[in-house]
Amino acid sequence: MNLNALPCLFRKINQLVNPTRINDHLISEAAINVVSQLQSNNYEAYIVGGAIRDILLNYPPKDFDIATNAKPEEVRKIFKHSRIIGRRFKLVHVINKREVIEVSTFRTAPLEKIHMKNGILKDNEYGSMDEDIKRRDFTINALYYDPINKKLIDTYGGEGDVRNRKVRLIGDPQKRFKEDPIRLLRALRFSAKLDMKIHHETLIQIKPSMKLLETIPHSRLFDEILKFFLSGHARNSLQIFKEYNLTKKYLPSLDNLNASFEKFVYMALDNCDQRIANNKHISPGFIFSVFLWQDVFQLWKKNEIKYPHSSLALNDAIEKVISKQNKIFPIQKRFLIAMSEIWRLQIRFENLSQKKVYRLFSHPRFRAAYDFMLIRSESGQFNKNLSEWWRKFVETDDVARKKLINKIK
């Protein structure tokens, strides 16, 4: 018997025995339309990756990726509203109103990495569908679904792993982590996000491979770390960060939280998760301002003996804490600005004079600083009467605001 034909045979038997349980209602019209048009042009096309995994878990996917044997230029020709993006990998974004469908051409795993003139690794080698499936990271991310013919292709048992809630690397875990160490963080992230266990063969390679993370460019690492905390599973993520010593590596302040600040951090993370569940946005600056707040606060209070004004003591604390963090794991400048503003505005919630109140209220960073202050108050770190006053002020109209101010007078 030809052993190479086994995955294909297994796939066919599997399809007969297990008809798909994909809920097509969770697939966007735009994604179905892209698959349909590619197929009408005689190309293969499937919805792949996270979207199918999320549908099996009954979560509405946040976006849709499509894999096809059409080359980017060929995809571009089919869709009027599309553009080719990417330097390392060419992809096509097909735009449908406000939705962007990402279409990628089947690729092989990067076997030989060729350095191009600009230093970028060339691993944009087109391949067959089987190769494309094999290069994916986890079995749960290697499900290919054809929504027109209602066919699910599951070469590595991803559907079973979704149901058994297992994050399992495809292939030899040691090799796959070495090939791309970002997968270490992805394994932990999916286990936090989907509340899944990591399969033992993958798990035993995680701690010994952690050192490989040092080879990843900072910007890629930074983006991946943000996803832990900005995608609605921040509480789980922090627990996993602690368990795998990622806090020590990137955010050591989080390892030394006292009980009161720990309460503050978890309350803030729950608040962020709630916002995501309500389709609201979280800014990375907000998350980092929460993470480093204990250090800033403690140094601020210590500084107050040295400085004539509390705001000067706070400014110095901010500068020192940021500089310390930047030596460990630098935070991008645009986020640093937001964080510093959230912190600096804290002191201004203490002053209820009319002029100061309105000036603070109209500050562009007011909303984030206000949310931050409310969480401080809820966790017992800020005067409850003051925060209650602000809550009333924010939640009412102009006339009632004037009355609130006059009451203070």
For binding to ligand ATP (CB under 6 A), which residues are involved? 49-50, 65, 136-137, 141-142, 180, 182-183
Which is closer to Mg ion, CB of 168 or CB of 189?
Answer: 189
Which is closer to ligand ATP, CB of 76 or CB of 183?
Answer: 183
Report, in Å, the least distance between residue 127 CB and Mg ion: 20
Selected from 50, 147, 158, 173, the binder of Mg ion by CB under 5 A is 50
Q: Which does residue 180 touch among Mg ion, ligand ATP, none (CB within 5 to 8 A, set by kind)?
A: ligand ATP
Q: Which does residue 137 touch among ligand ATP, Mg ion, none (CB within 5 to 8 A, set by kind)?
A: ligand ATP
Report, in Å, the least distance between residue 52 CB and ligand ATP: 9
Query: Among the candidate windows 8-16, 47-55, 109-117, 294-302, which touches Mg ion by CB under 5 A?
Result: 47-55
Which is closer to ligand ATP, CB of 182 or CB of 313?
Answer: 182
| CA dist., res. 288 & res. 285, Å (int) | 5
| CA dist., res. 349 & res. 216, Å (int) | 41
Which is closer to ligand ATP, CB of 50 or CB of 147?
Answer: 50
Q: Indicate whether 61 belongs to the interface with Mg ion (CB under 5 A).
A: no
Report, in Å, the least distance between residue 64 CB and Mg ion: 8
Q: Which does residue 182 touch among Mg ion, ligand ATP, none (CB within 5 to 8 A, set by kind)?
A: ligand ATP
Which is closer to ligand ATP, CB of 99 or CB of 350?
Answer: 99
Query: Among the candidate windows 38-46, 48-56, 246-254, 352-360, which touches Mg ion by CB under 5 A?
Result: 48-56
Q: Which does residue 136 touch among Mg ion, ligand ATP, none (CB within 5 to 8 A, set by kind)?
A: ligand ATP
Report, in Å, the least distance between residue 287 CB and ligand ATP: 17
* Residue positions annotated with a catalytic role: 63, 65, 137
Q: Which does residue 76 touch among Mg ion, ligand ATP, none (CB within 5 to 8 A, set by kind)?
A: none
Q: Which does residue 166 touch among ligand ATP, Mg ion, none (CB within 5 to 8 A, set by kind)?
A: none
Report, in Å, the least distance between residue 136 CB and ligand ATP: 4
Nearest to 50 by CA among 27, 32, 21: 27
Which is closer to Mg ion, CB of 187 or CB of 314?
Answer: 187
| CA dist., res. 15 & res. 35, Å (int) | 20
Question: In sequence order, what are the beta bridge partners of 91?
Answer: 85
Which is closer to ligand ATP, CB of 185 or CB of 318?
Answer: 185
Report, in Å, the least distance between residue 142 CB and ligand ATP: 6
Q: Minimal CB distance to ligand ATP: which residue?
A: 50
Interaction residues for Mg ion, span 371-400 (CB under 5 A): none
Query: Among the candidate windows 45-53, 218-226, 256-264, 332-340, which touches Mg ion by CB under 5 A?
Result: 45-53
Show the tokens assigned to 19: 């008809």
| 3-class SS string, the chain | CCHHHHHHHHHHHHHHHCCCCCCHHHCCHHHHHHHHHHHHCCCCEEEECHHHHHHHCCCCCCCCEEEECCCHHHHHHHCCCEEEECCCCCEEEEEECCEEEEEEECECCCCCCEECCCCCEECCCECCHHHHHHCCCEHHHCCEEECCCCEEECCCCHHHHHHCCEECECCCHHHHHHHCCHHHHHHHHHHHHHCCEECHHHHCCHHHHHHHHHHCCHHHHHHHHHHHHHCCCHHHHHHHHHHCCHHHHHCHHHHHCCHHHHHHHHHHHHHHHHHHHCCCCCCHHHHHHHHCHHHHHHHHHHHCCCCCCHHHHHHHHHHHHHHHHHHHCCCCHHHHHHHHHHHHHHHHHHCCCHHHHHHHHCCCCHHHHHHHHHHHHHCCCCCHHHHHHHHHHHHCCHHHHHHHHHHHC
| CA dist., res. 100 & res. 98, Å (int) | 7
Report, in Å, the least distance between residue 62 CB and Mg ion: 7
Nearest to 300 by CA among 283, 313, 282, 319: 313
Q: Which does residue 72 touch among Mg ion, ligand ATP, none (CB within 5 to 8 A, set by kind)?
A: none
Q: Count residues contacting Mg ion (CB under 5 A)?
A: 1
Binding site for Mg ion (CB under 5 A): 50
